[in-house]
Chain A
Amino acid sequence: MDILNALVAFLNFVFIPGLAYGSQLALGALALTLVYAVLRFSNFAHGDTMAFGTMWVILITWLLQSVGITGGVLPTGLIALPFGIAITAAFVLATDRVVYRFYRTQKAAPIILVIVSTGIMFVMNGLTRVIIGPAEQNFADGARMILAPNDFKEWSGLAEGLALKQTTLITVIVAAICVAALFWFLQRTRTGKSMRAYSDNEDLALLSGINPERMVAITWIIATALAVIAGTLYGLDKSYRPFIYFQLLLPMAAAAVVGGLGSPLGAIAGGFIIAFSEVFVTYAWKKVVTYLVSADMAPEGLLQLLSTDYKFAVSFTILILVLLVMPTGIFKGK
């Protein structure tokens, strides 16, 4: 019985990774859910918007580094982030003007908008591959570790190390700031309230004099900002690969649906539910259990429910269960 070591192993391999991944998913799911709430369709180009935006952040990071500007101990990517958001938001607003607006005035069926968004997905995916290529990129610089496993071992005298990457901490802090800012905006500002009103009841919002085009534009800007932030945090914390970002669409969509599509609070809860489920199911619990039971009872196998390659199965299963059991999600979306 070695509860302390078990706890440290749990924190190190399950809790901290789950927290970081959950924050990234939550931001991505928030963007998806906002677009759904206001524009009323599931945006299939969402993953590629993340990839596209993060690409600009990477390119600007390189540019800054080449002229000698860095973030010091912090990743340079954080300085590049606002520029990446601006470029991507401009692009997304242009796609809205050229593509989506036409279908909006036509009051096209949501499924048509979904198909249209796959067209945008192709274009953004292609642009990303042409500009930066499909290969993996690492752009995290600055201090790597806030807490190194060996330092922790020396300090605590435990056998298990506890690592805290700087990018993990940044992820959680930035995500918390974004969520707080978004909720302040939605709950306290006139524009935010009018956005909620528009999402709640479009016709009545029109009657009240709310300008729909303005709502749509603001939604795209906020959603794009969240997507690029989520993408940059994911890229800093793990690594950047356009295809992985496309695949993130599934867990993010699952998170948004689990929480209730259209509900910002739900998207955040959903993000953490999906992330922790994935980590729980794909983590090999052998180490933690070995600390907890007596030596002769130590498990032989890895105690891994599913190999990490099946993490998509986790978000998918949760998605299907929620859709079948409570289709409006935890926070009663639409």
Chain B
Amino acid sequence: MGEPFLIGDAMTGGYGASDILHDCTIAVERGEIAVIVGPNGAGKSTAMKAVFGMLSLRGGAVRLNGEDITKLSPQARVRKGMGFVPQTSNIFTTMTVEENLEMGAFIRTDEVADTMAQVYDLFPILKRKRHQAAGELSGGQRQQVAVGRALMTQPQVLMLDEPTAGVSPIVMDELFDRIIEVARTGISILMVEQNARQALEIADKGYVLVQGANRFTGTGAELLANPDVRRSFLGG
């Protein structure tokens, strides 16, 4: 088996003088869902941001489809086919849903109508509310806008930072369903999740981070079955 489609390989680094990540490796295969879980302050979001180039690494590398992209800016990685949905402030609240999607496609020079139609197919509620200001939508709908915005660049890999933070359980299930649908279209998903159990249930691959380092790695099912993981991170 060759190298995964996207890999953050042995990443070491942080925002300031002290490192947050220690030799941490995160990877995702084409069309699969990889989930990063772990306790608060484990460096989950930091690991994802490192993969996306939002902090500079002191060690390790990030490769996309075999190409070393460690030195690229986040914007350049977007052009390489990576989509990123931040945890907060991930939509343009004063703009309409449709404008949000248009802005998502800003770097594209070709016709975007088809992609927009696909996003509307995926999130039918957005089509009905497309002329409404995104800031007026409910929490779950806003997350859909955020994911839709990131999909507009037709990314090969979509990175989600706690997409279900602050939404109700029902909405969370629906979001997860959508994320699975996205993955079925061939887009790799890399996701940080607070709700570890539900996330691992849909994950092809799971990473449990503790203090910026890999603690457990396996398929979602393996991790769910692992008694250590269950006891420490899934509440028994």
Direct contact of A and B (CB under 8 A): yes
Looking at A57-65, A162-170, A197-205, A288-296, the stretch in contact with chain B turns out to be A197-205
A204 near B92 (CB under 8 angstroms)?
A: yes
B95 near A200 (CB under 8 angstroms)?
A: yes
B78 within 8 A of A: yes
Say whether, besides A193-B95, A193-B99, A208 and B90 are in contact (CB < 8 Å): no
Scoring A200, A201, A203, A207 by chain B CB atoms within 10 A of each residue's CB, the highest score goes to A207
- Look across to chain B and name the residue whose beta carbon is closest to the beta carbon of A37: B94
A210 within 8 A of B: yes
Scoring B78, B79, B103 by chain A CB atoms within 10 A of each residue's CB, the highest score goes to B103
A200 near B79 (CB under 8 angstroms)?
A: no
A40 within 8 A of B: no
- Look across to chain B and name the residue whose beta carbon is closest to the beta carbon of A199: B94
- Look across to chain A and name the residue whose beta carbon is closest to the beta carbon of B135: A200
A301 within 8 A of B: no
- Look across to chain A and name the residue whose beta carbon is closest to the beta carbon of B89: A201
B86 near A208 (CB under 8 angstroms)?
A: no
| Docked CA distance A51–B92 (Å) | 36
B93 within 8 A of A: yes
A194 within 8 A of B: yes
B91 near A204 (CB under 8 angstroms)?
A: yes
Interface string of B53-88 (1 = CB under 8 A from A): 000000000000000000000110011000010100
B217 to chain A, nearest CB (A): 28
A210 to chain B, nearest CB (A): 6
**Which residues of chain B are near A201, meaning CB under 8 Å?**
89, 91-93
Interface string of A168-201 (1 = CB under 8 A from B): 0000000000000000000000100110110011
**Which residues of chain A are near B74, meaning CB under 8 Å?**
206-207
A68 within 8 A of B: no
A105 to chain B, nearest CB (A): 15
Interface size on B, residues (CB 8 A): 20
B102 within 8 A of A: yes
Where chain A touches its partner, the secondary structure class is helix
B92 near A194 (CB under 8 angstroms)?
A: no
B69 to chain A, nearest CB (A): 16
B89 near A209 (CB under 8 angstroms)?
A: no
Contact of A196 (CB < 8 Å), options: B89, B91, B94, B149: B94
| Docked CA distance A209–B107 (Å) | 6
B78 near A204 (CB under 8 angstroms)?
A: no
Say whether, besides A193-B95, A200-B94, A200-B95, A208 and B103 are in contact (CB < 8 Å): yes
B95 near A208 (CB under 8 angstroms)?
A: no
| Docked CA distance A190–B101 (Å) | 12
Say whether, besides A194-B103, A203-B86, A204-B86, A209 and B78 are in contact (CB < 8 Å): yes
**Which residues of chain A are near B93, meaning CB under 8 Å?**
200-201
B104 within 8 A of A: yes
**Which residues of chain B are near A209, meaning CB under 8 Å?**
75, 78-79, 106-107
| Docked CA distance A206–B92 (Å) | 12
A193 near B102 (CB under 8 angstroms)?
A: yes
| Docked CA distance A206–B54 (Å) | 12
| Docked CA distance A205–B74 (Å) | 12
- Look across to chain A and name the residue whose beta carbon is closest to the beta carbon of B84: A207
B89 near A193 (CB under 8 angstroms)?
A: no
Q: 8 extra interchain contacts, Cβ-Cβ under 8 A, other than A196-B95, A196-B99?
A: A193-B102, A197-B106, A201-B91, A201-B93, A203-B89, A206-B74, A207-B75, A208-B103
Going nearest first, the 5 A-B pairs with the smallest beta carbon separation are A209-B107, A200-B92, A197-B103, A208-B106, A200-B94
Residue ranges of A at the interface with B (Cβ–Cβ < 8 Å): 190, 193-194, 196-197, 200-201, 203-210
